[in-house]
Every structure is written in C-alpha cells, then in structure tokens.
Amino acid sequence: MPAMRLLSYNIHKGIGGRDRRYKLQRIIDVIEHENPDIICLQEVDHHVKRSKFDHQPDLLQEYFGYPAADFQWNHKVKAGGYGNYILSRFPFRSISHVCLKLVHRKKRGAQVAVIDSPEGEFALVNWHLGLAEKQRQNQVAHLFLQKQFQQQEQLPTMIVGDFNDWRNQLSKGQFEPRGFTQITRPPSRFRSFPAYMPMGALDKAFIKGNFEIHETRIVRRQLSHVASDHLPLVIDFHLKSPE
C-alpha cells in the first residue's frame, strides 16, 4: 500500500507573499501537484474584501471534492474572517474545535480530528499558534488539558500547522515531556517562511504513537515560492500495526 500523504500549508488567504496579489488558483495548483490525502490549511478566508469576498472553504471543497471537510472560524474581519481548514479523502470519526485565544490577543484555534484511515484511526491536530513565545507555550499547554484532546490520547497523534516558533523552543519545553517527537528537524532543512527567501522553520509537525514516517519535506517549487508567504509541508507516512 502506498504511503498516506498529508500537506500542511498556511495559504495567507491566497495572497502572494511578494506580489501581494490574490490568486487562489496558485494555492490550488501547489496543493494539487503534491496530491495529498489530507490537507491541513491555515489562514483560509471567508467573505473578506481582500480575497474578493470568496468563500474559500467552499471553493477548495468544490475543486478537490474530498468527502470530509471542516472549517474552523478563528479571527473575524467585519462580516467575514479566516481560520483553519481540513480536507480529507478519509472520513472523520470525529471533529472538534478548541479555542486558543488566551487573555486579550487575536483569536487562534485548533481543530482536533480523528481520521479513519485505511490503516487505522489516528488523531490529527491542525492549528495556528500565536506570535508571542509565552503565548504559544500557554496555547500548547491549554490544548493538552482539553477533553477534546484527552479523549483521543490513546490513538497515534499528529500535530501540524503554523507554530510561529522561530526559536524552536516548543519541542523540548512542551512536546518531548509528553512523548511527542518532532519530525521537522533539523530546522535548517525545514525553513518555510518567508516563502520567497525562507529563514524561519515555522511550519512543523510532531507525532506520537505508531507512525512510520517515509519522508517529511518542504515544497520548494517555483510556484510555491510566490503563491503564499509560507511554503507547504508534506509528510508521507504509514501507521504501523500495533504489536
């Protein structure tokens, strides 16, 4: 059986990182070239002037046609806003949202899904963390305390998204003590921001449980360097049979 493929991508509302032009089709083309089974997106717009009032979740669902889809509305902008989005060829066994807005900062969120893959169930978290280091630490700790996360802790778990963790402090401080392994290291191999000249490894992935990782990479195609202000992260993996 071929490996399953997950793509994580901060699409910056479909606006290019350098030319500042809104062209959602570029994002679609970048994703389609990788042909992922699961798509985890951040900064997906809905009814906002800058993206021509498009309902991007509907447009992406219509184009890719994946049977499972979930949009988490995070930050509001007038009558619209943006958030996180998961599309999957495999059904959701469950899906829930965790609010990561702590104190008085921009609203952030995490999607917690249980994916019913051909190789078994696993938990998936897609999120977009804050800009301040202490805020990110608190957001990770907050997720781990939520029942939506704790109810599926017995499953293999993968956490992906835009971590905004420039100094790579979360791994030892938050994830390793809970048995998670970072598969996006060393940081020098996973620089994803800014897309046109990547310096920061902001898009990360952590796993726990019986995953078998075949490849983890940043997509460095000509189009991906202009479509967004982030480069996508791709993970090819299997679920190993429990002993």
Can you give the pLDDT at residue 75?
79
Only one residue has tokens 């104190």, namely 103
Can you give the pLDDT at residue 106?
78
Domain containing 206 equals 4-239
Q: Give the list of residues 6+ apart from residue 53 with CB closer than 8 angstroms, or none.
A: 47, 80
Can you give the pLDDT at residue 77?
77
Range list of H helices, 24-115: 24-34, 56-64
Q: Which of 91, 98, 142, 97 is nearest to 114 (CA)?
A: 91
For residue 169, CA distances in Å to 71, 101, 173 come to 28, 20, 6
Q: Which helix (H) or strand (E) holds 85?
A: strand 80-88
Q: Which of 211, 175, 170 is nearest to 187 (CA)?
A: 170
Can you give the pLDDT at residue 234?
99
Q: Which residues of the chain have pLDDT under 70?
A: 104-105, 242-243
CB 16 within 8 A of CB 226: yes
List the structure tokens of 126: 């897609």
- Report the distance separating Cα 55 and Cα 9, nearest Å: 18
What DSSP string runs through 94-136?
A: EEEEEE---SSS---EEEEEEEEETTEEEEEEEEE--SSHHHH
How many structural domains are present in the chain?
Answer: 1
Can you give the pLDDT at residue 242?
66
Can you give the pLDDT at residue 78?
80
- Report the distance separating Cα 137 and Cα 84, nearest Å: 20
Can you give the pLDDT at residue 1?
82
State pLDDT tens for residues 113-142.
999 999 999 999 999 999 999 999 999 999
Only one residue has tokens 């109810």, namely 151
Can you give the pLDDT at residue 102?
82
- Report the distance separating Cα 181 and Cα 133, nearest Å: 20
- Report the distance separating Cα 127 and Cα 41, nearest Å: 8
Q: Which helix (H) or strand (E) holds 87?
A: strand 80-88
- Report the distance separating Cα 5 and Cα 34, nearest Å: 9
Side chain identity at 56, as an amino acid letter?
Q
Q: What is the CATH number of the domain that holds 192?
A: 3.60.10.10
- Report the distance separating Cα 138 and Cα 134, nearest Å: 6
